[in-house]
Structure 1
Amino acid sequence: MPRETPPVFVPLHTEPMGLFASLAASRRNLIDIIPDEAVRRPILSGRTGKRWHMVMEPGAIRRMLLENIENYPKSLVTKNLLRPAIGDSLFIAEGAHWRWQRRAAAPVFSHRNVMNLAPIMGEAAERSCTRIAAAGDRAVDMAADMVRTTFDVISDVTFSGDGQMDAEAVHRAIDDYIEAAGRISLFDMLGLPDWVPRPGRVFSGKAVAEMKRVADEAVEARRLRGGRDVPDLLDLLLAGEDPETKRQMNTAELRDNLLTFIVAGHETTALTLAWSLYLVAYDQEVQDKARSEAQAVLGGRAAAGEDVAKLPYIRMIADEALRLYPPAAMISRTAQARDELCGCEILPGDTVIIPIYALHRSERLWEAPNMFRPERFADRKAVERYAYLPFGDGPRICIGASFALQEAVIILATLLSRFRFTPVPGKDPKPVQILTLRPEGGVWLMAEPLAGPDSPSRKGGAGMAG
């Protein structure tokens, strides 16, 4: 019998939506524009201001992301939303400009460099344990605490805590920009060119400009000072070069990529952890199994990089959380030339959407798709590759995927080894996507310290629950 699963998902709409209904839905929660049919069909097409297609067929997705990638660059809407904040960084750039940046940045996320950063992740997990223990018998918003924890990590691995840049202020500025300007406008839906001003993005530009100025100063200060014995992310990017052309990033390119890594590098992992904790709080059988694994490996200490391979079940929990609540729940592309997907004609200028939220819950591709079953990932080779896209795929697969998964396993294992998490009745979060799939209202859980000489309840320490 399937275990009880938490009741949180977004019911997909069953009635056709016109232009203004679609605009209102997309500004409220992008998930709301996905039709219910998407979990049962390989492709859906329509027109809302301009022609669109939603693709849920792995073979067609493979064509978009791998075989015919040049025909499907990121959509104009995506670029218009993000370019004012992160410029032509890896996330936005296309073609040759993207390729050389990717080649220059790839060594930054090598296995060796990611492993060297693992102690920072373990230290952040320890600080989270102290804060949770200090909450006593009060509920803790684990979504807020995971944002704080992963932000501690990205701040330390980016700038080594050298004080050259207020990374938290950078995060606030980008978050404020997304809130004010990161929602789709009517002009986007109508396909107006990007030189037509979007009011929200115009009015939020001052904070972004100040953020970029401070970031530029931090980059230049590091150039003058030089790197550290154990290089951080900025050191590695400064040293990076395209192996083919020997080109290095200038200050603006370094800054735009750093800002991208700061936001994407903690937001997505924080969401993975928050949803993972929410899920295991509802399924004590899974939580007990994960805890037994973590305690056997860790013996009371925080997890380290070399422990990750010994924690396969905790990795499965993270994988399943990424399936049910993918941080990037929808990606869109703009077709450049005529093509055919699932027998459907794709014309130049069409918006082609991969609704990852629906793909991951497809009744055609997953057994009991709305159920929480970490065991699905016991054999990852059995999971159809283009049916599961938490980090995208093809040449543009997320460059920091290994960093994010290592961080998620280290923090999740440390927390589960020390606390029993249970849900707070009536406090279920709602999945809402603007740019990422966030738990609206937070993830409020009770955290019971576990008895033992290394339990947080016996360590003491000051702190405040998130």
Structure 2
Amino acid sequence: MTAAAPLPVHVPLVTRPMGLWASLQASRRNVLSIIPAIATRQPMVSGRTGKRWHMVMDPGAIRRVLLEEVDNYPKSLVTKNLLRPAIGESLFIAEGAHWRWQRRAAAPVFSHRNVMNLAPIMTAAAERSCARIAKAGPRAVDMAEDMVRTTFDVIAEVTFSGDGTFDADAVHGAIDAYIAEAGKISLFDLLGFPDWVPRPGRVISGGAVNQMKRVADEAVEARRERGRDGVPDLLDLLLEGEDPKTKRQMNTAELRDNLLTFIVAGHETTALTLAWSLYLCAFDQEVQDRARDEIQGVLGDRACTGEDVEHLPYIRQIIDEALRLYPPAGMISRTAMADDTLCGREVKRGDTVILPIYALHRSHLLWDEPDAFRPERFADRKAIDRYAYLPFGDGPRICIGASFAIQEAVIILATLLNRYRFTPVKGRDPDPVMILTLRPEGGVWLEAEAI
């Protein structure tokens, strides 16, 4: 009898019920660790931890929550309480009419033409990453850390064109510090305390966030006065954007909150996708070889460009599979505003409805060998139920920057794999830990051998 093939790292899910205190302790260490293992084998799991909750893994029920009854399932108070101090009533937080007009105004910003115009910035950032790896010499490199730097280079350039009016590194530091404290699930949140009750971590980190907002406001006003120069960046496009229905444009505070949202969401999630993709390619050398064959057939020895992306389907499949195994938003939650029925089970007004994307993507009911790394499962996207795979969410609130993120990830991954063979460092496997996003704790330490 042959031994089973090794599996990439995963989160050990719980096999016994957890009380309120145990759930709090576990969630502060890793939010995903409170998911019961049975959630990967059932369409819905319910329980009570302070307040009643339901974990939903059934694609039909998820479609109801995210699309058919979207107004009945707004983002949960926990999510809003966590992020509102940093990003205000931006697209990520806003609901109803306030969300709709912002979405209409911002949608053209991420058109295919605009995203393609920004591709050279992504290629240049990938080249700089290659140069850093070369400079490191024979030593192992933490590719998670390098991907954060690489994607932050991209978002800083496409947001403010590096015009010197905005200290992108300071913004990054302030947001990261805020998330490190505020992102830890608060006992007050689990108990459903109202928003006006202070959360200790958020009070501690609020000063840095307020300073960051002042700096961002000044940068927005400076650009408004100076006007556009050259290829429009995200700030230019947002300044020009208006809601086609109401003709409303974003004021400085709305622009700032959305830009800060794009900076956070637009770089860390892509960095995580790339870090996990590189880990998986190092984990499975056959996949890496197949990927490199495809890349070299398209690129030769040059870097990847925006025009190449559509000609690299296997690279896209690797990224899709990395997003399945390690979705950056591994769990999202909604609050039921009215009584409903999901999977034949009663949901009461005020209940928390959790969509554990991590468990959905590893469901034995929906995926063959769900914990295995098999990029080819995405060769036929039409064969996959749309609501079984949700790395960017879905429905009207699907991530507005999804095409930007995929283009960036393909360009950077293809360029790196074309220059280097990556192998894992023994005993340095990353640990998948989710606070606000699913990060490889301990880093992704790989050895890179020039091709």
Pick the TM interval, shorter chain: over 0.9
Amino acid at match of 2:291: A
Equivalent pairs, count: 450
Q: How does 1:214-253 map to 2 (within 5 A)?
A: 214-253=215-254
Secondary structure of the residue that 1:426 maps to in structure 2?
coil
Question: Distance between the aligned counterparts of 1:159 and 1:2, measured in 2?
Answer: 53
Amino acid at match of 2:67: L
1:140-193: CA deviation from partner (whole Å, max 9, x where unpaired): 000000000000000000010101101111011000001122211111011011
- The change in CA–CA distance for 1:212 and 1:227 in structure 2 (over 3 A counts) is same
> Deviation of residue 229 (structure 1)?
2.5
Amino acid at match of 1:434: I
2:431 is aligned to: 430
1:407-427: CA deviation from partner (whole Å, max 9, x where unpaired): 000000000011000000000
> Deviation of residue 7 (structure 1)?
3.7
Question: Distance between the aligned counterparts of 1:345 and 1:3, measured in 2?
Answer: 40
1:47-76: CA deviation from partner (whole Å, max 9, x where unpaired): 100000000000000000000000000000
> Deviation of residue 112 (structure 1)?
0.3
Q: How does 1:111-130 map to 2 (within 5 A)?
A: 111-130=112-131
- Over the matched positions of the two proteins, sequence identity in percent amounts to 79
**C-alpha contact 1:108 1:237 (8 A) present in aligned 2:** yes
Question: Distance between the aligned counterparts of 1:358 and 1:234, measured in 2?
Answer: 37
2:141 is aligned to: 140
Amino acid at match of 1:163: G
Q: How does 1:424-463 map to 2 (within 5 A)?
A: 424-450=425-451
Question: Distance between the aligned counterparts of 1:300 and 1:244, measured in 2?
Answer: 48
Question: Distance between the aligned counterparts of 1:165 and 1:87, measured in 2?
Answer: 19
Q: How does 1:311-460 map to 2 (within 5 A)?
A: 311-450=312-451
TM-score of the superposition, structure 1-length normalised? 0.96
Question: Distance between the aligned counterparts of 2:331 and 2:183, measured in 1?
Answer: 14
Amino acid at match of 1:219: V
Amino acid at match of 1:385: R
**C-alpha contact 1:2 1:371 (8 A) present in aligned 2:** no
1:460 is aligned to: none
2:35 is aligned to: 34
1:201 is aligned to: 202
* RMSD, aligned α-carbons: 1.0
- The change in CA–CA distance for 1:5 and 1:278 in structure 2 (over 3 A counts) is farther
Amino acid at match of 1:372: F
**C-alpha contact 2:8 2:373 (8 A) present in aligned 1:** no
1:306 is aligned to: 307
Question: Distance between the aligned counterparts of 1:290 and 1:21, measured in 2?
Answer: 43
1:9-54: CA deviation from partner (whole Å, max 9, x where unpaired): 0110001000000111111100111001000000000110000000
Secondary structure of the residue that 2:132 maps to in structure 1?
helix
Question: Distance between the aligned counterparts of 1:5 and 1:293, measured in 2?
Answer: 25
Amino acid at match of 1:314: I
1:94 is aligned to: 95
Secondary structure of the residue that 1:173 maps to in structure 2?
helix
Q: How does 1:131-210 map to 2 (within 5 A)?
A: 131-210=132-211
Question: Distance between the aligned counterparts of 2:204 and 2:9, measured in 1?
Answer: 35
Amino acid at match of 1:307: D
Secondary structure of the residue that 2:333 maps to in structure 1?
strand
1:315-351: CA deviation from partner (whole Å, max 9, x where unpaired): 0000000000000000000000000000110111000
1:98-134: CA deviation from partner (whole Å, max 9, x where unpaired): 0000000000000000000000000000000000111
Runs of 4+ in 1 over 6 A off after TM superposition: none
Which runs of 5 or more residues in structure 2 are unaligned? none
> Deviation of residue 6 (structure 1)?
4.2
Secondary structure of the residue that 1:196 maps to in structure 2?
coil
Secondary structure of the residue that 1:204 maps to in structure 2?
helix
